[in-house]
């Protein structure tokens, strides 16, 4: 143990990887101490350099795969590793699914301390490459100060990796990305520096609608965010983007003056064409604007929404609350099977989309509120003296804040469905929900993000004592 405690940063160790952790890192043991090594797969024997020695565990970076695992495959991406986005590209897709399925079960059992539930087999993504419908890029500078365009280097908010091709995005995005970079370099435009807060080019955003009729090109939206309002040769840029992508439906130039490296538009400076796309999802036609939240994998999102609707067990008599509703996808999909539907979302653009989508799909029983969750939940309680009978929550990656979680529990809905892109925060919240008188009946993992460690989980919670007779009584109360 003394030898282990004396191990210093940058010391080299050799170990065999045994399993994977949520977060994508391989787990092995060196001298009996749990060791985390990224970009490794179970069965690898690796040499690693220690980055942190915590005494009871070690964090290290991969130096060399001494003996590769039999399951290891060669990642197709040229920047695999430094990019840090698709850390499981070195695993066959079937193996990725197996680990995600096991992780979904283990986080609920160990973190939420729940064991009496049905754990369904993971639903795979219908498409495993080129599946993303939205990409956010950041401008940076190369060693000569010329603008480059791509993704942040793993673990850094100042370094950017220049991207030529990303295998998760449509091929047309590759071409648009290259055209945008070429324009910036030819015009000698200065990339924004997140340390000095000087420079022009900040972010480039691409979004597409994927459920198009066979043989038709995907409609595309493009948005450029700059740190100053003046953009030289903007008309030329638009012409070049349109020539590269004839199916470009809209282009936005916006101002971002925030000091943080957050992709937001403080002011619209220029717009050509549409600032939204129309996408078909299940039996809905949705309007999705450039910066609104919508699931990035459309085909998998349809499966997610259908499973959520199934778990809600709707009869047509209930009032449904859709918390963190985004553009309203889940609530709108369920609206025809409810008496009334309320949606809550903090992003104004998303609420505008949701309200339009309700009108466009002929849904008159939907009300969407814009504001912080903790404030809007109070308004819902005031407007609904009989409460809500069904609730779906789909919070951000960090889960529910304590006050909102308490208010959600106090609404006392007989049935709650929790949709999450972060199993650990869902499990944390599930423990609180269960302690408040709910029981988890079902957990459904679904892979929305192939080749990454991320996946979606849908959890179904029933209020203890909720029965079909309870439900029948509630229907009578609602009708009266």
> Which residues carry out catalysis?
421
CA distance 35 to 265: 42
CA distance 230 to 212: 36
**Contact call for residues 136 and 203 (beta carbons, < 8 A):** yes
Q: Is the dihedral of CA 138, 143, 145, 146 positive or negative?
A: negative
Q: Is the dihedral of CA 310, 311, 316, 319 positive or negative?
A: negative
Closest C-alpha to 333, from 373, 276, 295, 370: 295
**Contact call for residues 162 and 153 (beta carbons, < 8 A):** no
CA distance 103 to 77: 25
3-state secondary structure of 474: helix
CA distance 367 to 354: 9
CA distance 34 to 28: 6
**Contact call for residues 126 and 303 (beta carbons, < 8 A):** yes
Q: For residue 341, is it left (φ>0), alpha (ψ between -120 and 50) or beta?
A: beta
Closest C-alpha to 444, from 126, 120, 124: 120
CA distance 326 to 394: 9
Q: Is the dihedral of CA 380, 383, 385, 391 positive or negative?
A: negative
| HSE of 204, CA atoms in CB hemisphere, 13 A | 25
CA distance 62 to 78: 17
């Amino acid at each position: 143990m003394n030898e282990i405690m004396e191990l210093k940063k940058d010391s080299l160790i050799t170990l065999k990887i045994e399993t994977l952790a949520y977060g994508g890192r391989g787990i092995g043991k060196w001298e009996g101490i749990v060791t985390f090594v990224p970009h490794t797969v179970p069965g690898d024997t690796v040499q690693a350099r220690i980055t942190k020695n915590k005494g009871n565990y070690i964090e290290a970076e991969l130096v060399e795969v001494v003996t590769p695992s039999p399951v290891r495959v060669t990642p197709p991406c040229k920047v695999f590793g430094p990019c840090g986005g698709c850390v499981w590209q070195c695993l066959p897709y079937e193996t990725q699914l197996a680990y995600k399925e096991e992780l979904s079960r283990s986080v609920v059992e160990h973190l939420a301390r729940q064991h009496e539930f049905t754990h369904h087999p993971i639903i795979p993504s219908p498409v495993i490459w080129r599946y993303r419908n939205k990409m956010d890029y950041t401008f940076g500078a190369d060693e000569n100060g010329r603008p480059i365009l791509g993704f942040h280097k793993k673990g850094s908010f100042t370094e950017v990796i220049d991207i030529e091709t990303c295998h998760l995005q449509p091929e047309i995005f590759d071409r648009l990305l290259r055209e945008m970079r070429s324009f910036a370099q030819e015009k000698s435009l200065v990339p924004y520096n997140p340390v000095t807060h000087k420079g022009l080019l900040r972010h480039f955003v691409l979004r597409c609608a994927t459920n198009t009729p066979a043989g038709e090109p995907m409609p595309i939206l493009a948005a450029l965010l700059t740190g100053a309002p003046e953009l030289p040769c903007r008309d030329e840029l638009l012409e070049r983007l349109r020539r590269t992508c004839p199916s470009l439906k809209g282009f936005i130039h916006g101002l971002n003056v925030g000091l943080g490296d957050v992709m937001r538009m403080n002011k619209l400076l220029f717009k050509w064409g549409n600032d939204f796309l129309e996408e078909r999802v299940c039996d809905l036609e949705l309007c999705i604007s450039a910066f609104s939240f919508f699931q990035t994998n459309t085909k998998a999102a349809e499966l997610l929404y259908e499973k959520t609707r199934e778990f809600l067990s709707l009869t047509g008599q209930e009032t449904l609350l859709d918390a963190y509703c985004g553009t309203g996808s889940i609530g709108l999909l369920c609206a025809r099977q409810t008496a009334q539907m309320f949606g809550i979302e903090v992003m104004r653009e998303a609420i505008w989309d949701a309200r339009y989508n309700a009108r466009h799909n002929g849904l008159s029983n939907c009300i969407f509120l814009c504001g912080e969750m903790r404030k809007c939940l109070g308004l819902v309680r005031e407007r609904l003296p009989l409460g809500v009978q069904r609730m779906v929550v789909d919070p951000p990656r960090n889960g529910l804040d304590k006050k909102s979680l308490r208010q959600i529990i106090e609404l006392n809905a007989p049935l709650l469905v929790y949709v999450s892109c972060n199993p650990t925060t869902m499990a944390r919240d599930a423990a609180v929900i269960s302690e408040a008188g709910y029981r988890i009946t079902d957990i459904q993992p679904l892979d929305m993000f192939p080749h990454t460690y991320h996946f979606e989980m849908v959890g179904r919670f029933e209020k203890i004592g909720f029965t079909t007779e309870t439900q029948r009584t509630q229907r009578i109360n609602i009708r009266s």
